[in-house]
Amino acid sequence: MISDSRDSLHPGLSPDGPKLTDEGDKRYALGAVIGHGGIGTVQLAADRQLRRTVALKTLRDHHAAEPIMRRAFVEEAVITGALDHPNIVPVYDAGSSEVFGPYYTMKRLEGEPLDRILDRRKRGAEEPRLPRLLEYFAQILRAIVFCHERGVVHCDLKPANIIIGPLGEVWVSDWGLAKVLGAGGKAQARRELWSGSPGYMSPEQASGSDPDILDERADIWSLGVLLYELLTTELPMPRASSGVGGPFVWEDFPSPARRAPNRRIPRELDELTMRALARRPEDRPPSVRDLLEGVEAYLDGRREARLREETISRHVQRIDPLLDEASEGRLAAVDAASQAIERAFDGKLDSLRLRTRAAELYWTSFRALNAAGESQAPTFVAIMNDMMKLAPEAVVAAAAAGTGESSPEDVLGDERWLQAVERVATSNGRRPLPRPVAELLERIAHLKRISLFADVPAHALVSMALALSQEHYTDGEVLFSYGDEANALYLLSSGRIEIAINDTVLNTLDAPSCFGEVALIDGNTRTAAARAKGTTSCWVLGHEHFEAAMLDPMVSRRVAGVLASRLRMATKREFGS
């Protein structure tokens, strides 16, 4: 059934086709022998009626006169012809000729058996790679699912019976040992001629004790052996049996991943293979469909990962030239790189390469402050904040590399991160710090002096620091009144603030202090008024920026801890315990 030539429909019309001999049959002219099986011979033939090349299978001469062999041969033709599936070799015709006896014709397959491919792979050939082999295997599984659902078990699945076409087509061939399940198989001639292929037979088939015990799980074992071989190029138990009815010797064998550790066999395929190769049939997957779903899930995941990696690569190819230009302090390139990185993350893409680009842009923005001038600095600082939101761990990792620390965790401390900021921002040797950077660090320092944010890592305060606005108040000026809507919290940086209800002063705050946050958190109106006592300055954080900051677990967790501590202290004062 195998041919590597590219003949025309009628081989007699092709100068390169086989030389046919007319043995007297009216329809078929026989060509070269292309294969032998246990009881049959396969030859090329020209179908005179349809003017096409076919593969014609006949009984071998020494079996032609044996009634049971003739029955088995006819059963093989009927079973194969009934399995109409793209991955099962199709049968065209069956009959008996005075010239060559019982026969049936099949599609002439172009390609090679899988065992040749595996032999080359075992000798070190790099192609086809495992994903392609698994694509072949999935097609085999679909064919076997089809035949099992129609009550047929192949019973001789092995690489020699799998044909791979030149375009990746896959055909399961040689159904000579197929068993029909149920009442339809009770009279099969194959029950008296049971056989199989050593190394691929299931333990129950190799024992040869009772054909009735064989069911779909015998094929599942053989498919497990085939998958093991695809993964490792080795059989799990090459000496397990000398044939049907002979002594079956069980050999413990390692999983594919342990047998071939250098091949990096995926865990899910390793486990799937070993499930199929369970010694007891009841311990194997209940159907071939389970194997198919497992293999397809792996292939689908791999395809998705490959498409995702291709998409990431396209983004990186766009970002890298912009980062090169941004390193020269060019505002347009910095802004374009920022937008490109944000688009990548907006597409739900996240990878080490993208996070690294975000970190590079973050630190490039610091450097660019010196080159662009203070008029452009707010844009750069805003970009730094965006990159910190997108890839905070990559930014910290970049700081770790810059400070010579061993891991990102080593620079989570405030001083290390602040030192990295100062060093990168002054990398061209210019001092003092650019004003926007100095102002950013000053704002972070104000936040850190407030108990509410004292334990929040400095790099997690960038967003809030950028959103702060500084306000100045004269003596007696009211910042907010009782019953006002809570729209901001205040960080007292200089002067004093009185918290009062009507004319009763409840508390006097000195710098640094935070006030107004409770109403902001619980969403209620102000429960007291705040007014300046003398000339006073405050950093003001609007409610929308505070709410956004609270979405960061590093911020919200620590703020919640401070508020819980305040509540415990208040409870203790109230109840004296």
Lowest mean pLDDT among 58-72, 353-367, 485-499: 353-367
Give residue-wise pLDDT tens across range 375-402.
566 666 677 777 767 766 666 666 555 5
Q: Which pLDDT score, from 0 to 100, does residue 152 have? A: 93
Compute the distance between CA of residue 441 and CA of residue 498 in angstroms, rounded to an integer: 28
- From the list 156, 386, 414, 552, the catalytic residue is 156
> Which one has a higher pLDDT value, 392 or 59?
59
Give residue-wise pLDDT tens across range 511-534.
988 898 888 887 788 989 999 999
Q: Which pLDDT score, from 0 to 100, does residue 311 have? A: 87
Specify whether the CB–CB gap between 156 and 199 falls below 8 A. Answer: no
Q: Looking at residues 334-347, what average pLDDT do you find?
A: 84
Q: What one-character DSSP code corresponds to residue 260? A: S
Compute the distance between CA of residue 461 and CA of residue 370 in angstroms, rounded to an integer: 23
Compute the distance between CA of residue 478 and CA of residue 474 in angstroms, rounded to an integer: 9
Strands 109-110 and 2-3: parallel
Quick one: 233 exposed, middle or buried, by C-beta within 10 A (0-12, 13-18, 19+)? Answer: middle
Q: Looking at residues 220-238, what average pLDDT do you find?
A: 93
Residue 499: count of CB within 10 angstroms of its CB:
19
Is 156 assigned a catalytic role? yes
Residue 203 token pair: 């333990």
pTM of the shown model? 0.61
Q: Which CATH class is domain 468-575?
A: mainly beta
Q: What is the dihedral of CA 199, 188, 82, 47, to 10 degrees?
A: 90
Q: Which pLDDT score, from 0 to 100, does residue 339 have? A: 85
Phi first, then psi: give them for residue 79, nearest 5 degrees.
-65, -50
Compute the distance between CA of residue 8 and CA of residue 260 in angstroms, rounded to an integer: 44
CA distance from start to end of the chain: 92
Residue with tokens 């983004």: 315
Q: Looking at residues 190-207, what average pLDDT do you find?
A: 81
Give residue-wise pLDDT tens across range 255-296.
999 999 888 899 999 999 999 999 999 999 999 999 999 999
Is it true that the peptide bond before 211 is cis, omega within 30 degrees of 0? no
Compute the distance between CA of residue 464 and CA of residue 444 in angstroms, rounded to an integer: 8
CA atoms within 13 A on the CB side of 435: 7
Q: What is the dihedral of CA 183, 188, 194, 197, to 10 degrees?
A: -90
Residue 75 token pair: 């059963």
pLDDT band at 11 (very low <50, low <70, confident <90, very high): very low
Does residue 574 have a pLDDT over 70? Answer: no
Compute the distance between CA of residue 458 and CA of residue 465 in angstroms, rounded to an integer: 10
Q: What is the DSSP string of 46-98?
A: EETTTTEEEEEEEE-GGGTT-HHHHHHHHHHHHHHHH---TTBPPEEEEEEET
Residue 349 token pair: 């893409």
At the second CATH level, the architecture of 112-286 is: Orthogonal Bundle (1.10)
Q: What is the CATH number of domain 2-110?
A: 3.30.200.20
Q: Which pLDDT score, from 0 to 100, does residue 428 have? A: 55
Proportion of the chain in helix, strand, coil states, percent, rounded to 5 = 50, 20, 30
Q: Looking at residues 469-495, what average pLDDT do you find?
A: 92
Give residue-wise pLDDT tens across range 147-189.
999 999 999 999 999 999 999 999 999 888 888 887 776 777 7
Q: Looking at residues 320-349, what average pLDDT do you find?
A: 82
Does residue 457 have a pLDDT over 60? Answer: yes
Measured at the CA of 518, the angle between CA 546 and CA 509, to 5 degrees, comes to 100
Residue with tokens 């691929």: 200
Compute the distance between CA of residue 337 and CA of residue 383 in angstroms, rounded to an integer: 10
Q: Which pLDDT score, from 0 to 100, does residue 461 have? A: 83
Measured at the CA of 560, the angle between CA 520 and CA 442, to 5 degrees, comes to 75
The domain ranges of the chain are 2-110, 112-286, 311-438, 468-575
Q: Which pLDDT score, from 0 to 100, does residue 104 have? A: 92
Does residue 415 have a pLDDT over 70? Answer: no
Alpha helices in 373-514 (DSSP H): 377-390, 392-403, 414-425, 435-448, 462-467
Lowest mean pLDDT among 86-90, 417-421, 536-540: 417-421
Collapsed DSSP state (helix, strand, coil) of residue 411: helix
Which helix (H) or strand (E) segment holds residue 319: the answer is helix 288-326
